[in-house]
Structure 1
Amino acid sequence: MAFLSLCNLVFSQGKGVVSGTVTDKEMGGESLPFANVFVKGTSIGGTTDIDGKYSMNVPAGNQTIVFSFVGYETVEKAVVVKEGQTITVNQLLGANQGVQLEEVKISASVNREKESALLLEQKKAVAIETKIGKQELARKGVSDVATAVTKTTGVSKQEGSGSVFVRGLGDRYNVTTLNGLPLPSNNPSRKNIDLSIFSTDIVEYVGIDKTYAAKNYGDFGGANIDIASKVYKGKGFAEVKIGSGLNTIASGQSQFYGADGPGYLGFYKTYYPAFPLNNYNFTTSWDRQAGEAPVNSSISLKGGDSYSLSDNTKLSFFAVGSFDNDYDYKEGIARGNVNVSGVARKNLARQSYTYNTNTTVMGNIRLKHKKHEFKYNGLMVDNSSNSHDDYQGIYDAFDDAAEGGAVIQRQTFMRNRLFVHQLLGTHNLAENLKVEWGGAYNFNKNNVPNRRQSTVLPNDNDDPTGPKSFLLVSNDSDNHRFYSDIEEEEIAANASVTYKFAKNEEEEYKAKLKLGYSGRFKNVDFDATQFNFAITIRDVQQPIINDVYNLDSYFNQQNLNAGLFTIRTFRGGLGSSTDVLLPQTYNGNQNIHAAYGELQYTFSDKFTGVFGVRGEQIKQTIDYNTSINVGTNELDKFAFLPSLSLKYILNDKNNLKFAASKTYTLPQYKERAPFLFEDVVSTTLGNQHLYSSDNYNADIKWEFFPERDELISVGAFGKYIQNPINEVGINSASNDISFVNSGDWGYAVGGELEVKKTIFNKEKEGKDGTLNNKLSAGLNVAYMHHEQELNSEKVSIENPGVGVNFSKDRDGFAGASDILLNTDLSYFKDFNNGMNLQTTLVYSYFSDRILALGVGPLGDKVKGNLVEKGYGTLDFVMKSKINKRISLGFSIKNLLNPDIVTFQDIQDVTVLSFRRGVDFKVSLSYNF
């Protein structure tokens, strides 16, 4: 390995090579970059590279090698160098006697935003881990965390959401943390928070741990996704950035529609009016509202600084505030309740308009005093979605609007507010003793105020293009206003003690014991009220609707007084004996106490193992009062979770790693609460009989690091799941969807390939220093085979009143793609005067994946799976620094603009189809 700087070599006739690694005693044997190594009495020498390695040509004979570093003890080693031979001399350096490490001012620090630094961490780690840093995210034009994780091997994202699949395992199998502490969900339908709400402005790196370690919570099957928030350590800076863009499909609409009420910034909240049943007191319109021109925009301001309060104390801070919005338009087919004969009871054309906002504010403070470090992180994310969906066609092929002519409108505004407070501490009490702790308070509120749905049908089913009215509308809920709130409050704590022991001859510790505790205490409160506008007169007195987009002319006080409709909740209307305004609710508590131990032992220079065990006591209680049921149920579980990680260093550039573990998967509150969630083309209800599943995991991986920023790795994995949980269609008149433990077993096996390669890197000296001219490429591919048992009898026995007729006795996992692929090609060039240019082309692909399992055998006919058809996306990203202060950015996303199709496979019926359009964006940033 060549020095980073190497000077004045002596070219004698007889030479040998001295090489090795310098490690840092104060950091537990980590490599020590930029240490000085030279031959005593000569000018031969230089500094170690980022891996702590050095290599130099040395005259044959008796020599003395000198190792030094600022504030560390200088060490001299006598060696005998033979001509033509290479000898290895490794050295451990520590602080001088009487000098504390914190007193030494070291200018070099590891920047975990850089790809090379994260690859170095991956190389050193015993565990199998993957991290993607800010540098790589910027190069690929990634603006949110959900998209960030899809750029890693074996990860894909669900269309239209921030929910990700890891090795085919979806939301329920993953865990999301911020700086190692858990985050709440922002959606009652999901276990994990929507990762797309996190801007990469707040990120230092994102870790995707696909193998389990005892320090992590055990509710884990796919991955623990940990967002490491940015901590600033450099000189003061401030940066402002503005951007604008458009979507080719959204911008092509003559009008862009949304719900009445929400404003441009997305800050809107309302609740239903007083006396909502006996008077028409609703003030927001039923009708779609034309909005602003669909031009996307963004603005952000960030800055940071560091201060030396004394020789032993340093304070640093970082803050960022941003706002961005985007417009999304979809047009295509939406079909529902497709039967075994391939007939869709609902066969509609769909237009969907959505306006999204995201406001993020984050700040952190870091205080370091001697061997103690404290960090505070505060985060607020406020995001909203205002949508108008317009459906036209057949509402029910066997009943209402059987020949077409139905017009269904659904206007939904959703707002989510997340507040996170974290306090973390690290204390190096001795050379071999470290204490770490962290606490978090999280609060999340999700609000759906005043969702509106209206359904207008032909006045005569035999005349679909004729007059429209409410005459044939039969379901009370076809016209409604819906209000819901969910609040999730959580306190979490981590604490651990790490003790190193068993020194070897080189004064390096061979063993490290870590003991810790984790706790999560979560409370969830959900309430929902729906006002159904029930049509009460069903004769010629029912007026004709002349304009389906002017329903305020129908739903008003005059027509309520005339008895054309009444307003009711699911508990009834005026005059009912019960409290009709009492909302549907479920309230849950989840307490987890965990203790764990982890022993890392270095058996030799090449072989290291980590042996972990974790015990968790989980208690999940839920009380519910809904239109389906009233009651309480409890899930009480103790989980014993062993884990193992092994690493064998084949040589300086090659690692072989193995991991095995046991974990579990908990059902979520919505899945266990008997509450009915209604959409236009589907209905979902919870199942109080659902219980947890257990997971057994194994991985093996070979890693090759040709150069500091290059990687070739090949891995294989296997997962066996007992009592897997699935979302399925159950036997009901309305084809409801629910959640069941669908069989006794399931498994997934697969392989992964990852390549990061520099094609060329030419350097030359310019007036500002070294100028780079670099072309690099990346590729990651995952292939998976997956299968699970589907047992209708098991479901019927375990879930009284719930019947399922699976179309097969075994099938794949919902959300799993057999093939996932990501590849990129990047070009970077430096110019003089601080100018540079970087361009990247990124392609991603996933193959077909099941969204919902098929059910309903009928003779020799079955109802097929709902399958999302695979497709590829291509993005182009360009960034340029004009000078040291000004930067420009330009991107074109989704260049291929593929059809996004969901179909029912056996019947070969398309149930959803649309295109997203191509997104163009330009940005300008100024650094003060």
Structure 2
Amino acid sequence: MRTSLFIYLIFFLGVEALFGGSISGRVIDGKNGEEIPGATVAVAGTHKGTAANIDGEFYIGGLEPGVYALYCSFISYEPTEIPDVVVGEEDEVVVEIELYGTTYTIDEVSVVAQSSDNSDLAYLMDRKEALVAVQTIGTGELSRKGIGDALNAVANVPGVSLQEGSRNVFVRGLGDRYNATTLNGFPLPSEDPEHKNIALGFFSSDMIGSIDVSKVFNATNSGDVGGAHININTKKLNGNRELAFGISGGVNIMSVGEKILKPEGVNSFGISEDDHPDAYSFDYSNGLEPLNAGIPLNRSLNASYGKRFQTGAGIAPIDFYAVGTHSSDLSYYEERVRSITTGNEDPYQDQLGRKHGVRTNNLLLAGIDHNLGGKHSLAYSLLALHVTNSSFGSYEGRHSDRYQDSESYEGYYLRQQINENLLLSNQLLTEWKLSERTNLNVGMAWNKVRGKEPDRRENSLSRQPDDLYNFTGSNRQKRFFSELNSEDLNAKASLNFSLANNEDWSSTLVVGYTGRFQSDSFVSKEYNYDPYPGLFRLEYLNLDKLYNKENYLRGDFSLQEGVPNTYDVSKYLNSFYTELNLRPSHHLNLSAGLRADMTGIEVDYEVDHTAPGSVSLNKFYLLPSLNIRFDPDQNQSLRFGASRTYTLPQSKEISPYRYVNTGFASQGNVDLQPSVNYNADITWDYFPSATEIISLSAFYKDVSDPIARVEAGNSAGVLKYDNIADHANVAGIELEVRKNLFSHYMEGSSLQRLTLGLNSSYLYSRLLIDMVGTPAREAQLEGAAPFIANAELSYKIVNDDYTFLVSVIARHISDRVHTIGMLGFRDIVEQASTALDFTASYKLSTGFGVKLKASNLLNPSYVLSRERSSGEGTVILNEFKKGVDISLGLSYEF
């Protein structure tokens, strides 16, 4: 790793030689004047060339004086040649290239949509030609909508929604367990033992080239997926060179005038103190009193550098790209927290909480791409991602269990938590053209994840008469230390054979292998203290003056050190697949595949409430898939897909380890079984123009033995995992529209456009709960929103001097089940909400840009509610507002 970083540093500090002339300019659609990102521009007779950037601009440098011809091409456009371009010594010649659309059908079968540039235009063209539809979000859409990370980007896709407090998404009613997340096609381990996928919110827009969301499956996809395969493509060099800097600052209106607090033990870069105390001592690195987090200003810094290095005449160039970011966000809100039993009495928990949060994100991304002789290619990328979330919460009110030392059951609860996560990912991808008809793709990736929760501090006080408090007994003064370390080795190889390729018929055969070998090691330790004696007033309370080493040695309180809870997990996956792609005519494309997955999970655990043990789960799956695309004409496509997939339980879900998380504790189930998913999809796409689409989809899923986290019904309030039904049925429709309401191209390369984007989905889900102790009843899937709608209205002006863009984005999610009720409890429902965002940006041709963003303008209430078991009334369990975020950013591109 050190060697890699040193090489990248040398590249990053390299100085570009400013010798020779250059040709620059813009590639546009000759009919409507719209820029064409990704168009290839080459200098005839030389090895020099480039691809137009997101604004259709290109630059080719290092040219000796002379007369040249430019050759320009792009998919679905007629190629063109610009002759007699005269370049002098150190001259910069500017040209504008116009391309005109063509109507011929591309001969080769395209199975999955991919794109080398990041514009909406390019992705729509890729989607038009793809056999299996992939909905792609590029940097153009991320910038236009002001999207800051992968989590919020994916939430804009039809049929996808966020659940408040969740770190990942629900796709067609299926949550984290049923989805798969990859980086450049390679899977990543999760940093949290409670989840299957790494948190999407970790991936900021600074590192994202594009995001592909595949809701239809084929043999080349992962078999352990039922909702969607989400692939994050990292940024690459787009053009010959890039150097850019950006800075932004903002504020959340809920934080204005508030003193934001954070736990001691984490610095401004998110690096935490995690020293454990010696046995039965009070040697802690951190105190119990929270610290002032400073001015509640959200801030971000980023820099990117890219360079195409010419390696000599006749030798393909080497592309290098690097980006680094640092950001910090502060938040504050007040929330109401309640809980009820199956009876009709008042809530046994009713508290008002004040939640402070600080999030830091540090990112380094670097990559090298090299085309070897025009036939082979090699790409290496390094990603180092460091994200820390720290929070301080204080809750005051009634809780009959936690404040059992109080006659009124009133009390005060403090919780301080730090979650520090580090991801290192090394990836190597190669492509070899073995012959005119045979390609070999080989890749490897090694990932390492460390997720730490160091020194979580919890203190409870019970209210006594005269507004005095004492410390609650029964293990209510706690500190926790936990750490998860994962290593993940991935390998893949595929051979692509072109069996036939002519005007009337083409076919390809793909044979491949993917392997994944993962090891997880988790350890958690708990420390408990006796309650400190005496009565206190909250306004004078200082925890560090009471719970300290001096008072411990004096015997004012004692310390109990818990037995470490551990588990070690070994996972393996060996997959072999084959897929036959056929194009029997210009209007019809077929793909039939078969995947064989051999999976295994071995869990060794040792926990304080049961004897050491182990669990083994080994399964073999045959997974067929069929995909068909029929094109009635050049502007329409009709796609059908059918497949069989599966969903494995996670390692902690099949061990009896009890995991204590924020607000709940969960315990595994050794009898848990995998789910098997049957999927069917049909989609109609209509492309009125190169930048417009109308799409309508319908889908059906049958999930056998669906898995869910449910109420165990024990006195400790622990949740467990179970197969809650024999089958779950999910069906729905999705609509997507992108329409130019107004588009006007004027002389002087000026374009004005008003665009409307809409997508919505309706979903029906049903399962018959079949569990011991719970009356049989029908229920919806957890997190499955029956109705989701997203709308965007954007206005864009582009000319030679500047680009101006303004967008308004609205999102609506209907009522949905947050937690399925068991043992006499009714379902917990997340109530409907509507959000509104605004983004405006202005970019000068000189490279200077400014962006204004306002998020969550309606500031809706987030509400969880539960109907009483008698059916008489509803109780609000959780309610808060997140506040409006406003930010202003400046950038400069050289």
Deviation at 1:246, TM superposition (A): 0.2
- What is the distance in 2 between the residues matched to 1:157 and 1:300? 27
- The correspondence for 1:137, drawn from 129, 138, 142, is 142
Identity %: 29
Using the TM superposition, name which of 159-168 and 432-441 deviates more. 159-168
Are 2:275 and 2:285, in contact at CA under 8 Å, matched by a contact in 1? no
Shift of 1:499: 0.2
TM-score (norm 1): 0.83
The reply on whether 1:382 has 2:386 as its aligned counterpart is yes
What's the counterpart of residue 201 of structure 1?
Answer: 206
Whole-angstrom distance in 1 between the partners of 2:891 and 2:158: 31
Q: Distance in 2 between matches of 1:901 and 1:401?
A: 29
- When residues 202 and 283 of structure 1 are mapped into structure 2, their CA distance, relative to the original with a 3 A threshold, is closer
Output the CA distance in 2 between the equivalents of 1:111 and 1:764: 29
2:524 aligned with 1:524: no
Q: Output aligned runs, 1:750-769, within 5 Å.
A: 750-766=732-748
Encode CA deviations 1:897-927: one digit per residue, 9 max, x unaligned.
Answer: 0000111134511111100000000000011
The equivalent residue for 1:622 is 603
Amino acid corresponding to residue 791 of structure 1 in structure 2: D
Aligned residue number for residue 639 of structure 1: 621
For the residue of structure 2 that corresponds to 1:294, the secondary structure is coil
| Contact residue 71 and residue 80 of structure 2 kept, 8 A | no
1:560 to 552, 557, 561: 552
Taking a change above 3 Å as real, the CA distance of residues 754 and 402 of structure 1, as seen in their structure-2 partners, is farther
Structure 1 contact 454–480 (Cα < 8 Å) conserved: yes
2:834 aligns to what? 872
Residue of structure 1 in register with 2:882 after alignment: 916
1:742 partnered with 2:724: yes
What's the Cα RMSD here?
Answer: 2.6
Q: Which residue of 2 aligns with 1:569?
A: 561
1:792, CA displacement in angstroms?
1.4
Distance 2:239 2:845 in 1: 20
- Supply the distance in 2 between the matched residues of 1:433 and 1:223 (Cα, whole angstroms): 30
> In the alignment, which residue of structure 2 is the partner of 1:346?
349
1:334-367, Cα deviation, whole Å (9 max, x unpaired): 1235433253222211110000000010001001
- What's the offset of the Cα at 1:475? 2.0
Q: CA 1:91/1:295 → structure 2, altered by over 3 Å: closer, same or farther?
A: closer
CA offsets, 1:11-65, max 9 Å, x none? xxxxxxxxxxxxxxxxxxxxx999xxxxxxxxxxx999855356xxxxxxxxxxx
Partner residue, 2:588 = 607
Structure 2 unaligned runs (5+)? 1-27, 33-50, 57-69, 84-101, 109-113
Distance 1:636 1:522 in 2: 15
Shift of 1:307: 2.2
- In structure 1, how many angstroms separate the alpha carbons of the residues matched to 2:635 and 2:591? 21
SS in 2 for 1:494: strand
Give the one of 867, 884, 888 matched to 1:905.
867
Separation of aligned partners in 2, 1:48 and 1:183: 38
SS in 1 for 2:859: coil
Report the CA distance shift for 1:869/1:252 in structure 2 as closer, same or farther (over 3 A): farther
Residue in 1 aligned with 2:37? Answer: none
Structure 2 counterpart of 1:851: 818
* Matches of 1:361 and 1:129, distance apart in 2: 28
665-674 vs 525-534, which deviates more? 665-674
Matched, 1:778 2:757: yes
Q: Deviations over 1:412-435 (max 9, x none)?
A: 011000000000001122221111
Structure 1 residues 918 and 924, CA gap change in structure 2 (3 angstroms): same
Q: Give the partner amino acid of 1:207.
A: D
Amino acid at match of 2:191: N
Aligned partner of residue 158 in structure 2, secondary structure = coil
2:181 aligned to 176, 179, 182, which one? 176
Give yes or no for contact 2:72–2:81 (8 Å, CA) kept in 1: no
Q: Is the 8 A contact 1:6 1:47 kept in 2?
A: no
**Partners of 1:516 and 1:340 in 2: CA distance:** 57
Residue aligned with 1:136, SS: helix
Q: Which amino acid aligns with 1:854?
A: G
Aligned-pair CA distance for 1:503? 3.7
Q: Please list, as runs of the form range in 1=range in 2, the aligned pairs for 1:228-627 lying within 5 A after superposition.
A: 228-253=233-258, 255-275=259-279, 277=280, 279-310=281-312, 311-336=314-339, 338-341=341-344, 343-370=346-373, 371-396=375-400, 399-401=404-406, 403-459=408-464, 463=465, 466-470=467-471, 473-476=472-475, 478-504=476-502, 506=503, 510-535=506-531, 542-544=534-536, 547=539, 549-561=541-553, 563-571=555-563, 583-627=564-608
Shift of 1:161: 4.0
Q: Is 2:105–2:586's contact at 8 Å kept on the other side of the alignment?
A: no
Kept after mapping to 1: 8 A contact 2:73/2:80: no
Q: Quick check: 626-635 or 158-167, which moved more?
A: 158-167
Q: Which among 685, 703, 711 is matched to residue 729 of structure 1? A: 711
**Residue pair 1:233, 1:305 contacting (<8 A) in 2 also:** no
Distance change >3 Å, CA 514–CA 340, structure 1 → 2: farther
8 Å CA contact 1:337, 1:682 repeated in 2: no
Partner of 1:800: none
Cα offsets for 1:178-222 (capped at 9, x unmatched): 111111112111111111111112122100000111112211000
Q: Relative to structure 1, is the Cα distance of residues 659 and 70 closer, same or farther in structure 2, using a 3 angstrom cutoff? A: farther
Q: Deviations over 1:428-477 (max 9, x none)?
A: 22221111111100000001111100001123xxx3x521112xx2421x
Measure, in 1, the Cα distance between the counterparts of 2:477 and 2:673: 35
8 Å contact 1:385–1:414 — kept in the other structure? yes
Distance 1:113 1:92 in 2: 21
CA distance in 1, matches of 2:886, 2:105: 53
Aligned to 1:200, the other structure's residue is in SS state coil
TM-score by length of 2: 0.86
Q: Is the 8 A contact 2:525 2:565 kept in 1?
A: yes
SS in 2 for 1:192: coil
Rg comparison, structure with higher value: 1
CA contact (8 A) 2:71 2:82 kept: no
Is 1:927 matched with 2:893? yes
CA distance in 2, matches of 1:549, 1:868: 37
Q: Deviations over 1:834-874 (max 9, x none)?
A: 212100000111111212111223xxxxx111111120110
Partner of 2:19: none
Q: CA deviation at 1:6?
A: 8.6
Equivalence map 1:42-191=2 (5 Å)? 50-52=74-76, 111-191=116-196
- Quick one: distance in 2 between partners of 1:337 and 1:531? 29
Which amino acid counterpart does residue 762 of structure 1 have in structure 2? H
Opposite residue 554 of structure 1, the aligned amino acid is: L
- Whether the aligned pair in 2 keeps the contact of 1:482 and 1:530 (CA below 8 Å) is yes
Change (3 A) 1:400 1:717: farther
Closer/same/farther in 2, CA of residues 556 and 886 from structure 1, 3 Å limit: same
| Aligned residue number for residue 806 of structure 1 | 774
Given that 1:335 and 1:681 are in contact with CA atoms closer than 8 Å, whether structure 2 keeps it comes out as no
Q: How many residues align?
A: 802
Shift of 1:111: 4.5
